[in-house]
Amino acid sequence: MLVEPSRLLNFDAHLPYSASWLSPMPGQSPFTRHVTHVTDPNAVVEVYSFMEAFDDEKQELGDKYLHTFVAEALKLTQREPSLFQRLVLPLALGLAHNLPSPEYCSPSVSEAITEIWSFYLQNVVGSQPPPPQLALSKNRCTCDICSPINSFLADGTRKRYELRAPAGKRNHAERGFFDMFRRDIITTTDTSGRPHKLIIVKCPENIYNEEFSKWNAKAQEAKGHLLEFARELGNEVLGQKFFTALPEQSMRTMLGASFDAIWRLRPSEDSPTGTSIMPSIHQGLGSLAYPGEAPSLVPAKRKAKENAVDLT
């Protein structure tokens, strides 16, 4: 459904086109329940595309409208990440779908898309958890029994500690781990010999596996969104190229290892062990060639040299 032109031309830097399609879902946070009327991202794409057909003044107004919507949408997503799929992702897909050619896009579109994906990967998905380390945090107690244990915990080279002591001292040391609800430590008691022996083993991989599993779920979802965006551009390789070729705004530059880590994941990757490295996103890009000079499909009233981002 096209938006009435009179509604498109009479707006400032606010979001005038509201729709009630974003209704709160069961189980969502109280904040989301207040977000019942927001701008329809599909309408924003229509507005922007419509304004691009006019003179420079209207085009600048369209750029301002797009920039404002992206800023407001990301502000909402910062507070409620679940809104990304319903508010921000449709905008990115719509902008990609409306590009006349995946080789060129206006700087306002490239800026909006880059801002969307960089925000999403940095603030919603986050970085891959670092590998587990043997140097752990200390317990609270600093008595004569616990001090050597704390030294062991802080030592990044030792994994096992043994305390042969009467039951009272062993129970005191073990209680320090229970009081802090530690999941990176396993304690057992060796009953051979007198007195019995408390065995403390570091298991930082327990926490790492949990954190990786949570991150992996978000990263797999992000990879699906990125591939969907790439398909909207018409070619998955070109879609990947989009992220690596934006001058001064490269997602690879901004995200580095986080972006690479998402692309390396196998679709069925569930655990941090046995990760298979997928082909680099750079492979195949050098073989892309276009006969002659790729046509610039930037709106005619703009100068292509100033307003086109060449991804060839």
Provide mean pLDDT across the span 52-77: 78
Lowest-confidence pick of 50-64, 218-232, 251-265, 279-293: 279-293
pLDDT for residue 171 is more than 80:
yes
Please name the residues in contact with 62: beta carbons below 8 A apart, sequence gap of 6 or more.
47, 48, 50, 51, 52, 108
pLDDT for residue 205 is more than 70:
yes
* pLDDT at residue 164, as a whole number: 92
User: Residue ranges per domain, the chain?
Assistant: 5-126+213-307, 146-203
pLDDT tens, position by position, 89-115: 888 888 877 766 555 667 777 778 778
